[in-house]
A and B are shown apart, each in its own frame.
Chain A
Amino acid sequence: DTEVTQTPKHLVMGMTNKKSLKCEQHMGHRAMYWYKQKAKKPPELMFVYSYEKLSINESVPSRFSPECPNSSLLNLHLHALQPEDSALYLCASSPYGQGTEAFFGQGTRLTVV
């Protein structure tokens, strides 16, 4: 199984809502990532978890709150988002260390209204 599964595929939320994005992998990877991708732009790294600990936070606003409850799951909790946060949110995973590659999920298309 070389899949990274993200749910939901599409999400529309209001600016006062609280929602969560979920990501799951069963490849035994110990590094997991959240990326944000705007239309016609490259993915921008938001967070990296290594061995279930947050190792990189790319100065992401606190309205985005990541969580890694175990080695297979990664969540992104959303609260009080702005319309400019509308984007494709990608989850990825990789084995930890050099000589590795990242596997990407299909993403969650988020629209903030």
Chain B
Amino acid sequence: AQSVSQHNHHVILSEAASLELGCNYSYGGTVNLFWYVQYPGQHLQLLLKYFSGDPLVKGIKGFEAEFIKSKFSFNLRKPSVQWSDTAEYFCAAFTGGGNKLTFGTGTQLKVEL
């Protein structure tokens, strides 16, 4: 069965630090991969997505992610975080066959001033 795992459950960083959040998926076929962000009390927002092509994808707010097929990974990165990046981050994988979008357990990021 398809699954998505995020290994960092809670991350605390200082402003201007670099960020990398891990995401691994288990599915042998074609997958579409996403990172969503959920700010406190708000709805899910799409940060970036990967369907095919260039494995390095850029999203909104300075985020990027790299798809490494051999490692079944889709890690999220940001060179310099801001206090306003404090939020919950979810990796998700979408397999087209069943139209089933599966989320990872999420990473709570706290950025301190």
Contacts and interface: CB of A to CB of B under 8 A. Distances in A.
Interface of A: 31, 33, 40-45, 48, 50, 55-56, 90, 92, 94, 96-107
Interface string B18-57: 0000000000001010101000001110100101100000
B99 A56 contact: yes
Contacts of B108: 40
Most buried by B among A92, A100, A105, A107: A100
A100 B103 contact: no
Interface of B: 30, 32, 34, 36, 42-44, 46, 49, 51-52, 88, 90, 94, 96-106, 108
A104 B44 contact: yes
A41 B99 contact: no
A41 B103 CA distance: 10
A100 B90 contact: no
Given A48-B99, A48-B100, A100 B43 contact: no
A50 B108 CA distance: 32
A106 B32 contact: no
Contact of A42 (B34, B52, B94, B103): B103
Nearest to B88: A40
Nearest to A106: B43
Contacts of B32: 98-101
A48 B94 CA distance: 13
B96 A100 contact: yes
